[in-house]
């Protein structure tokens, strides 16, 4: 994987693909600027080395047509306040006006292209669209790790039409950490998986069964496993059509000697809402009118012990309905255990990351991934579409 620092950037025009998919409030104000700040080192390096920069990003899901609510205008304004360079927001990402802007671009100025997803061709990975994006571009730099699992035109097809395609600082740092756990994880290697659905985590589970020493499962996904094993789980969230697969996964893990742990106690309630009455149970059945909404204290203790003894930890997905105080303890305590352990710890996924931030211990994590979906796919497939197409090292 080529690193953009190894390119001679002087007087070169660079297409920088970033992830400016920032959260906006109802008035279109940016509520979290983390994704913008994340790419400043790459932007600064490009400018310091006299490259001419064109930035491309998506924002939200505009369904392939122009949507003023999803314009990158607020991003352009925020970027202008963060950088000394002049930032020009182009009216589109391809076409005559963009070509004109490029031809008049002063060396130190930055052009921010309008939302790439205003064109359906972006998601279709369309060659012609990608060729237009790459017009007059020398080098392509990808710093949008969170979008690297998407085979989209600005991630994949575009790389055919440039002289070199390289990783920026964000992508490079993400890949450095993930390669450590993909290629030669220090053992014991413990994976913690939670969240709502087993279906989202099947490919990653399949890979972890080959790679990890133990898998700790929490969240609603555990109830699909329990139901498949014929335990009564009341009204807990279950994916009925994934029960057989859950059993197959457990069998595969057993054959490989990988331990898969499910919660041994549960916080249950009749309602999933703040202030709901709840109780802790240590054995099945979960009564008919109840749902399992968090892991209980015994499970927290057991999982924390595993985490403490691990040399490598990968965590994705909350242990319960962490958004509601009554059901947030499992996730909060696991976050604390991961943060206070002396391991190589990688946390991916928006929910696990926000749970970690709530504990204030995020600085103690070795690496917090900027991409939830991308990190899961990377663990599952050991590479990503957007990484495969980058040029070889020079």
Residue numbers annotated as active site:
35, 197, 350, 373
Q: Does 281 bind ligand AMP (CB under 6 A)?
A: no
Q: Does 353 bind ligand AMP (CB under 6 A)?
A: no
What does the buried/exposed string (b/e) look like for 174-194 if buried means 16 or more CB atoms within 10 Å of the residue's CB?
A: bbebbebbbeebeebbbbbbb
Q: Cα(223)–Cα(263) distance, rounded to whole angstroms?
A: 9
Picking from 198, 258, 248, the residue whose alpha carbon sits closest to that of residue 223 is 198
Q: Please answer whether residues 142 and 17 qualify as being in contact, where contact means their C-beta atoms are separated by less than 8 angstroms.
A: yes
Nearer to ligand AMP among residue 318 and residue 385 (C-beta)? 318
Q: Does 74 bind ligand AMP (CB under 6 A)?
A: no
Q: Does 271 bind ligand AMP (CB under 6 A)?
A: no
**Neighbouring C-beta atoms of residue 315, cutoff 10 Å:** 29
Q: Cα(136)–Cα(59) distance, rounded to whole angstroms?
A: 24
Q: Residues 219, 234, 263, 371: which binds ligand AMP (CB under 6 A)?
A: 219
Shortest distance (Å) from residue 293 CB to ligand AMP: 5
Q: Residues 126, 271, 323, 382: which binds ligand AMP (CB under 6 A)?
A: 323
Stretch that binds ligand AMP, among 26-34, 297-305, 319-327, 334-342 (CB under 6 A): 319-327
Q: Does 348 bind ligand AMP (CB under 6 A)?
A: no
Stretch that binds ligand AMP, among 24-32, 117-125, 278-286, 317-325 (CB under 6 A): 317-325
Going by C-beta distance under 8 Å and a sequence separation of 6 or more, which residues neighbour residue 316?
192, 193, 194, 195, 201, 204, 347, 348, 349, 352, 372, 375, 376
Q: Which of residues 220-249 bind ligand AMP (CB under 6 A)?
A: 220, 237
Q: Residues 56, 62, 296, 320: which binds ligand AMP (CB under 6 A)?
A: 320
Q: Does 197 bind ligand AMP (CB under 6 A)?
A: yes
- List beta partners, residue 14: 53, 139
Q: Residues 53, 217, 268, 293: which binds ligand AMP (CB under 6 A)?
A: 293
For the chain, how far is it from start to end, CA to CA, in angstroms? 9
Shortest-Cβ-distance residue relative to ligand AMP: 195
**266-269 and 291-295: which strand pairing?**
antiparallel
Q: Residues 321, 334, 335, 347: which binds ligand AMP (CB under 6 A)?
A: 321
Task: Count the residues of the shown chain that bind ligand AMP, applying the rule CB under 6 A.
Answer: 16
**Neighbouring C-beta atoms of residue 30, cutoff 10 Å:** 16
Q: Does 195 bind ligand AMP (CB under 6 A)?
A: yes
| Interface positions with ligand AMP (CB under 6 A) | 195-197, 200, 219-220, 237, 292-293, 317-318, 320-321, 323, 349, 351
């Amino acid at each position: 994987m080529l690193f953009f620092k190894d390119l001679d950037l002087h007087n070169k025009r660079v297409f920088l693909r970033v992830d400016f998919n920032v959260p906006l409030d109802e008035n279109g104000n940016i509520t979290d600027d983390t994704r913008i700040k994340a790419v400043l080192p790459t932007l600064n390096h490009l400018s310091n080395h006299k490259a001419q920069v064109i930035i491309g990003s998506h924002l939200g899901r505009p369904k392939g047509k122009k949507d003023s609510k999803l314009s990158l205008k607020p991003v352009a304004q925020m970027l202008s306040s963060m950088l000394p360079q002049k930032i020009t927001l182009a009216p589109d990402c391809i076409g005559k006006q963009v070509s004109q802007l490029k031809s008049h671009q002063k060396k130190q100025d930055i052009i921010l292209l309008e939302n790439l997803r205003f064109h359906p061709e972006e998601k279709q990975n369309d060659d012609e669209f990608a060729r237009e994006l790459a017009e007059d571009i020398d080098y392509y730099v990808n710093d949008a790790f969170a979008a690297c699992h998407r085979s989209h035109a600005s991630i994949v097809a575009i790389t055919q039409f440039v002289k070199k395609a390289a990783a920026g600082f964000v992508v490079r740092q993400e890949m450095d950490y993930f390669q450590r756990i993909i290629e030669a994880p220090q053992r014991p290697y413990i994976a913690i998986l939670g969240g709502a659905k087993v279906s989202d985590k099947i490919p990653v589970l399949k890979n972890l069964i080959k790679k990890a020493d133990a898998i700790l499962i929490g969240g609603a996904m555990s109830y699909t496993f329990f139901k498949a094993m014929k335990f009564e789980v009341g009204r807990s969230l279950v994916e009925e059509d994934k029960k057989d697969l859950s059993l197959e996964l457990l069998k595969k893990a057993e054959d490989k000697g990988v331990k898969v742990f499910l919660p041994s106690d549960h916080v249950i309630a009749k309602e999933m809402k703040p202030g709901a009455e709840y109780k802790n149970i240590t054995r099945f059945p979960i009564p008919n009118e109840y749902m399992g909404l968090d892991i209980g204290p015994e499970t927290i203790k057991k999982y924390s012990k595993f985490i403490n003894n691990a040399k490598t930890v990968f965590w994705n997905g909350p242990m319960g309905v962490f958004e509601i105080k009554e059901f947030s303890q499992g996730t909060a305590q696991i976050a604390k255990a991961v943060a206070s352990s002396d391991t190589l710890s990688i946390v991916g996924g928006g929910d696990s990351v926000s749970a970690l931030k709530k504990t204030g211990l995020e600085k103690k994590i070795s690496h917090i991934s900027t991409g939830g979906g991308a990190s899961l796919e990377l663990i599952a497939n050991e590479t990503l579409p957007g990484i495969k197409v980058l040029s070889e090292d020079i």
